[in-house]
Amino acid sequence: NSSHSDVADGGPIFTERLSSWTERNEKRIILSQIISMYLKMLENTDRSKAHVRNIAEELHTLKESLSDGSKKIEDLKDLTKLQMSDLKVQRKAVNELFSVLQKLGDTSSSHKRKRSQFQRLCKC
């Protein structure tokens, strides 16, 4: 029951987190995880009520339309576990530095290109 007084304690669970995910693809990752959590929560609910069944069906449909962000979430978790004090990890990281910077340059230049194209089209 969402009308209990403790619902407001500690602030929102999901909506506050969504505000820091601004790019479309980023939002799809976090939304796929949030929808999975709702589906998990609904696993143990009484499905005899039509509105509960409808919500679960809609969530399943939404989940199928979003790419599964689980692999991407795992990649982020794995990055946090890297022992950057390990010399072997440091050597490998330095070896990959140029490639990483190159990929970063590719993504930032494509954003600049889009922005400059928009500025040319816009008669602001």
* Rounded Cα–Cα distance for residues 78 and 73 (Å): 9
pLDDT tens-place string over residues 21-60: 888 888 888 888 889 889 998 988 888 888 888 999 999 9
The answer for residues whose C-beta is within 8 angstroms of residue 28's C-beta and 6 or more apart is: 66, 67, 69
- pTM of model > 0.85: no
Specify the pLDDT at position 101.
93
Q: In this predicted model, what pLDDT tens digit does every residue of 55-67 receive, in sequence order?
A: 999 999 988 888 7
pLDDT at 118: 55
Closest CA to 24 of 53, 70, 54, 67: 67
Residue pLDDT, tens place only, 98-107: 999 998 888 7
Q: Where are the alpha helices (DSSP H) in the chain?
A: 15-18, 24-42, 50-65, 70-81, 87-121
Give the model's confidence band at 2: pLDDT under 50 very low, under 70 low, under 90 confident, else very high: low
Using left for φ > 0, alpha for ψ between -120 and 50, and beta otherwise, residue 10 falls in: left
